[in-house]
Amino acid sequence: MPIYEYQCNACGHEHEALQKLGAEPLVVCPACNEAELKKKISAAGFRLKGGGWYETDFKSGNKKNVAGESSSSSNSAGGGCGGSCACH
């Protein structure tokens, strides 16, 4: 679920809300209880984590794929699933 940003036109309070994509926008400000809350237009931030991603996907600088490094060391001891599943 995405996190939406809101700002109140009455008091200027900024608010973040975790909502489903099809959810109705919030209108009542939690700070002043006025129906002046408006959804802000902002970029969504996300990070692709876990197996199935190449180390070079969305990579910048000298950052390493930490999930890939930890699973490769676990694979030799616990099988292909890393030893954290129900089969071990």
- Is the pLDDT at 14 greater than 90, yes or no? yes
Same domain, 58 and 31: no
Same domain, 35 and 9: yes
| Tens digits of residue pLDDT in 21-65 | 889 999 999 999 999 999 998 776 555 566 666 666 666 666 665
Q: Is 71 a domain residue?
A: yes
> The tokens 């599943």 sit on which residue?
85
Q: Is 87 a domain residue?
A: no
Q: Where in the sequence is the domain holding 55, given as residue range(s)?
A: 49-81
Instruction: Name which residue leads in pLDDT, 43 or 4.
Output: 4
Q: Is 53 a domain residue?
A: yes
Instruction: Name which residue leads in pLDDT, 41 or 66.
Output: 41
Domain count within the chain: 2
User: In Å, what is the CA distance from 14 to each residue of 26, 30, 31, 76, 77?
Assistant: 12, 10, 9, 49, 49
What is the identity of the amino acid at 32?
Answer: C
Q: What is the pTM of this model?
A: 0.49
Q: Is 88 a domain residue?
A: no
Q: Is 44 a domain residue?
A: no
Instruction: Name which residue leads in pLDDT, 62 or 4.
Output: 4
Same domain, 55 and 75: yes
Same domain, 58 and 33: no
The rounded distance, in Å, linking the Cα atoms of 71 and 52 is 11
